[in-house]
Structure 1
Amino acid sequence: MTAHRVYKMSFASVYPHYVAKAQRKGRTKAELDAIIHWLTGYDAAGLATVLEERIDFEAFFAQAPAMNPSRTLIKGVVCGVRVEEVEEPLMREIRYLDKLVDELARGKALEKILRAS
Structure 2
Amino acid sequence: MILQAGRPVFVASSNQENFRINKILVGWKDTREARRAVIDAMPFLQMAQEVHVITIDNDASDETWSSLDDVVASLSFHGVKAKASVFPEKSDGGTIADVADATHADLIISAPTATAG
Q: TM-score, normalised by structure 2?
A: 0.29
Tell me: higher relative CO, structure 1 or 2? Use CA pairs within 8 A at least 6 residues apart: 2
Structure having the larger proportion of residues in helix = 1
Q: Which has the larger radius of gyration?
A: 2
